[in-house]
Amino acid sequence: MDLEQGITAFSEVLGAPPPGTDAAGRYVFRFEEDLELRCFLLAGKPILEGVVCMAPADTNEAEALLKSLLRVSLGRARERADVLMLDEETREVRLFRRLSPEAVKGREFVEAAEDFLNELDFWRRRASQGGRPERFSSPFSLLR
């Protein structure tokens, strides 16, 4: 399995040179607003990872945020194979997605990475609101 092929294809789409690997052997794409896409192999399987947020220092607040995010995750489980987890050492709430071996090739990897970044953005926005759903505007709200 050649993860580097997908990394190269994604880098070309971004118009940037491919990133090197970090100390943990992960390819890390850095975007604005502290957004990172980490790509690596785990037990020979390609993984995409991103940080959703830092868990609050207060245990009760952290627990409430995680419960809220996990409820949403359960509701989306049929549609998405993503996994949320808390790294207790770093306090990072992370999103993971395991890709099929075929998805590391060129265009398939680019599409998977783009989709994952969109999903990561969803979770980051949700976490920034304390796990609550986003408020949305409706034309009906103008009638009040």
CATH of residue 9's domain is 3.30.1460.10
How far is Cα 47 from Cα 50, in angstroms, rounded to an integer?
Answer: 10
Q: Does a structural domain hold residue 85?
A: yes
The answer to whether residue 86 sits within a structural domain is yes
In a domain, 139, yes or no: no
Q: Is residue 144 part of a domain?
A: no
Indicate whether 140 belongs to any domain.
Answer: no
Q: How confident is the model at residue 81 (pLDDT cuts 50, 70, 90)?
A: confident
- Evaluate whether residue 95 is within a structural domain: yes
Phi, psi angle pair for 76, to nearest 5°: -100, 0
78 belongs to a structural domain: yes
The total of other beta-carbon atoms located within 10 Å of residue 131's CB is 18
pLDDT digits (tens, 9 = 90+) for 86-115: 998 999 999 999 998 888 888 899 999 999
Report the predicted TM-score, pTM, of the whole model to 2 decimal places. 0.83
Domain count, the chain: 1
**Are the CB atoms for 50 and 38 separated by under 8 Å?**
yes
> Is residue 119 included in any domain, yes or no?
yes
Domain hosting residue 41, numbered range: 3-131
DSSP helix, strand, coil percent of the chain (3-state; round to 5): 40, 25, 35
pLDDT tens per residue, range 44-74: 899 999 999 999 999 899 889 988 888 888 7
- Point out which residues pair with 94 in neighbouring strands: 51, 85
In angstroms, what is the C-alpha Rg of the chain? 17
